[in-house]
């Protein structure tokens, strides 16, 4: 008898638990891919992100067809995301939607300007070291208010200006906002891979990849940088 692969074993365990709960029939009815949260390698994870974005752009999303009750049932005790995303906090960048993913598929950290800070590093280290994600995407977006404000050095209320220092090394010599957004995303991705000893080691030893991308608000398309 052929030995089960890890993905097949995860699927069998998942379906067994659904059967015990009387939910297996519903899972088959809704066409859920039970192994969707099985671990993926770095390249496969990036391909899945970009394929999901193509579905989003084309208006052919599939994540809404998943039975959310069953997805919740399978993620109450643990999470098994296949990728991590560092995104801007901008409300126009709904990360799971633009990659056509559902509950438990992505490990997302968000902060204005999608910048790397000690807190963000710690969060993404958890995603890599504990959850086992193999791909981390730093996602900027066009018309980013944080990047634009940092470029202009605008006076702002409260603690907002503390964000500027994290972006200035990438954008100080750039005068076009879109170019600055792209440069910032690429800089933050490089900084993450260099400043985190955990992630740097995972990149060297385990094939983890840290990449940068830019989201276009108008077209909905993500471009890898």
Closest CA to 13 of 35, 31, 40, 41: 35
Residue 14's pLDDT is what? 34
Confidence of residue 34 (pLDDT cuts 50, 70, 90): very low
User: Which CATH number is 39-224 given?
Assistant: 3.40.1050.10
Quick one: pLDDT at residue 103? Answer: 87
In degrees, rounded to 5, the angle at the alpha carbon of residue 167 between the alpha carbons of residues 99 and 113 is 30
Q: What is the pLDDT of residue 29?
A: 31
DSSP state of 157: S
Q: What pTM did the predictor assign?
A: 0.79
Average pLDDT, the chain: 84
d(CA 49, CA 86): 13
Q: Give the separation between CA 198 and CA 179, rounded to whole angstroms.
A: 30
Highest mean pLDDT: which range of 24-28, 70-74, 123-127, 164-168: 123-127
Q: What is the pLDDT of residue 67?
A: 67
Question: What's the confidence (pLDDT) of residue 15?
Answer: 36
| Length reported for the chain | 225
- The β-bridge partners of 215 are 141, 222
pLDDT in tens, 130-179: 999 999 999 999 999 999 999 988 788 888 888 999 999 999 999 999 99
Most trustworthy range by pLDDT among 26-35, 37-46, 95-104 = 95-104
**222 contacts 139 by C-beta, under 8 angstroms:** yes
> So where are the chain's domains?
1-38, 39-224
Taking residues 64-76, what's their average pLDDT?
75
Put residue 101 in one of left, alpha, beta given phi > 0 → left and psi -120 to 50 → alpha.
Answer: beta
């Amino acid at each position: 008898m052929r030995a089960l692969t890890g993905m097949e074993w995860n699927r069998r365990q998942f379906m067994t638990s659904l059967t015990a709960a009387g939910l297996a029939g519903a899972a088959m009815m809704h066409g859920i891919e039970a192994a969707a949260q099985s671990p993926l390698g770095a390249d496969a994870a990036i391909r899945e992100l970009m394929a999901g974005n193509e579905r989003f752009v084309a208006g052919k999303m599939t994540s809404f067809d998943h039975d959310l009750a069953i997805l919740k049932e399978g993620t109450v005790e643990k999470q098994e995301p296949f990728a991590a995303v560092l995104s801007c906090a901008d409300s126009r960048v709904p990360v799971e939607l633009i990659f056509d993913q559902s509950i438990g598929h992505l490990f997302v950290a968000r902060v204005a300007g999608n910048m790397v800070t000690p807190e963000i590093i710690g969060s993404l280290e958890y995603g890599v070291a504990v959850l086992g994600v193999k791909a981390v995407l730093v996602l900027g977006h066009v018309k980013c208010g944080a990047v634009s404000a940092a470029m202009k050095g605008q006076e702002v209320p409260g603690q907002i200006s503390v964000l500027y220092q994290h972006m200035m090394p990438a954008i100080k010599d750039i005068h076009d906002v879109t170019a600055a957004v792209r440069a910032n995303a690429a800089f933050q991705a490089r900084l993450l891979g260099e400043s985190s000893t955990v992630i740097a080691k995972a990149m060297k030893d385990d094939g983890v990849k840290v990449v940068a991308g830019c989201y276009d608000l108008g077209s909905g398309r993500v471009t890898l940088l």
